[in-house]
Structure 1
């Protein structure tokens, strides 16, 4: 009897530690098309037709007017924030960068640790994607 009680106690502890399965988790809030100029949302954003200041954030890559960068790691930071580590290019010329994103509805405050916008937060507006 003691063995059955101990076994059922262990099983109950394991079940309580198991993450709750409440349906599919919602996708990251940063996914989608974003532009620095809300006027740029007049046409749906499409890969290969992006202008400077237009971005498409996917699960595995960030697309921009010069091409795309692979998202190596995405980590939620607080209730509305994300940290994305990306790699652009390959081989010895590969460039790494970290994006810090804060998303509230259709507005994103972004900063990147490299390039012409290094460290300076800028605002993006959500747009439709083709």
Structure 2
């Protein structure tokens, strides 16, 4: 009977209950350093020293050997997937792209579409989280 009374009191006061009270959501699984060649993981991946096929995904940007692209939109797609929209460069030469990512453990299947063309999927291995 005390449980019922306590629950009614919480609801009457408007206090949070259930999953919203559980705390912050976990970070997306795609964050961190990734490489097409597991040999690339021998040194920490860092912006400014990336080689072709090496990427660092952050919450606001994706770094690669040619520079940095700003992530303009990120949304979860299914249980293990995400879609990221990005802009690389600025002004009239800015390039937009959409990444489709699927992460299982330390393996990511990624594809990138630029304009109206979809890219072939490729596999990345996790090097380090950020």
The answer to whether the superposition gives a TM-score over 0.5 is yes
Alpha-carbon distance in structure 1 between the residues aligned to 2:91 and 2:18? 41
Alpha-carbon distance in structure 1 between the residues aligned to 2:17 and 2:98? 33
Checking the alignment, whether the CA contact within 8 Å between 2:31 and 2:129 is kept in structure 1 is no
Checking the alignment, whether the CA contact within 8 Å between 1:35 and 1:127 is kept in structure 2 is yes
The DSSP-based 3-state class of the residue aligned with 2:56 is strand
Alpha-carbon distance in structure 1 between the residues aligned to 2:61 and 2:108? 17
Q: Give 5+ residue unaligned stretches, structure 2.
A: 1-7
The DSSP-based 3-state class of the residue aligned with 1:70 is strand
Let me know the Cα RMSD of the aligned residues.
Answer: 2.4
> What is the Cα deviation at residue 23 of structure 1?
1.6
Instruction: Specify the alignment match of 2:34 in structure 1.
Output: 34
Distance 1:39 1:91, change over 3 A: same
- Matching of residues 63-102 of structure 1 within 5 Å: 63-102=63-102
The DSSP-based 3-state class of the residue aligned with 2:40 is helix
- Matching of residues 1-130 of structure 1 within 5 Å: 20-114=20-114, 118-128=118-128
> What is the Cα deviation at residue 24 of structure 1?
1.8
The DSSP-based 3-state class of the residue aligned with 2:114 is coil
Aligned length in residues: 119
Runs (4+) of structure 1 exceeding 3 A deviation are: 14-19
> What is the Cα deviation at residue 90 of structure 1?
0.6
Checking the alignment, whether the CA contact within 8 Å between 1:85 and 1:98 is kept in structure 2 is yes
